[in-house]
Amino acid sequence: MRVARSLVILLAIACHHVFAIDLAAAGENYPSRPVHFVVGFTAGGPNDTVARILSDWLSEHLGQQFVVENRAGSGGMIAANSVINSPPDGYTIMFVAPNNAIGASLYKNLPFVFLRDTVPVAGIMRLTNIMVVPPSLPVRTVAEFIDYAKSHPGELSFASSGNGTSVHMSAELFKAMTGVNIVHVPYRGSSAAAPDLLTGKVHVMFDNLPGVIEFVRSGKLRALGVTTAMRSDALPDVPAIGETVPGYEASVWYGIAAPKGTPPDAIDVLNKAMAVALADPKMKARIAELGGVPMPMSPAEFGKLVADETEKWGKVVKFAGISVE
């Protein structure tokens, strides 16, 4: 009996360490010190929330701290520039989202080319933006919002997490396709915009779902529609905007990139770790709570996604007729 119990304990210890051993074999001693995970928006927003959930998991399973650093401003371009100019040693990585694909065409004087100066690491999740308004605004549907905005031209404002974010561009696409005149008010992240949205100082936001889902569930914000072509399983009663505005669609995704020249072994370790994380039932449940779907991808697959999205959003920027110097 004592021998059997010892075997059980040894097997449990072995299973606990299999993941670490496999990763150590893949990347020798990487990581051997803390890894900086740079997020281009303020703390408390959707990007930051997801980055911190993943950082906790990676810290626990890779044996080194993954430290989230918030470098907000210019729609995430400040963060991207800082990462691109960091040593390409695997110890500085960045949170990637549609803003990085959008910025390539929206910003006219960037000191970098994102696709050229970074290497893809892994996908994280797919999700939607959601059109939300404060309960004080007398509209309950997308159609009612369009009618109200057209009867109050230039009087309504929309918040965004910064120029060139998917939050900004989802609204610009909506403006272009519906002809409403609403004024853009950029913030340094979704969490910075939340107080003004909740109090009605700004009137609408097309935020990443994780940033506002609890406000919607609690009734502090009213959801009018999601930006994806299909409804979200997280809020199945909220229609797609495209049900009212035919052809409207703006999907969102998250991933990880690193500076060009980062060692392949480090990228391999991180990619394998993310694949395991996204298969973890607890992680999958947490992502579902935030309204997302896990998106495990190889570096090549994620790189293709970013390239395709860069091309797609370039067309939207041109269609909306906007640019940032």
Task: Answer positive or negative: Cα dihedral of 249, 255, 258, 262.
Answer: negative
Q: What is the Cα–Cα distance from 255 to 97, expressed in whole angstroms? A: 6
> Does residue 302 register a pLDDT over 70?
yes
pLDDT given at position 287: 96
| Tokens read off for 272 | 């394998």
Q: What is the DSSP letter of 239?
A: P
Judged on CB neighbours under 10 Å (0-12, 13-18, 19+), 3 is exposed
Q: What is the Cα–Cα distance from 118 to 114, expressed in whole angstroms? A: 6
189-209 residue pLDDT tens = 999 999 999 999 999 999 999
Mean per-residue pLDDT, 73-86: 97
Could you identify the residue written with the tokens 């449940």?
A: 285
197-250 residue pLDDT tens = 999 999 999 999 999 999 999 999 999 999 999 999 999 999 999 999 999 999
pLDDT given at position 13: 34
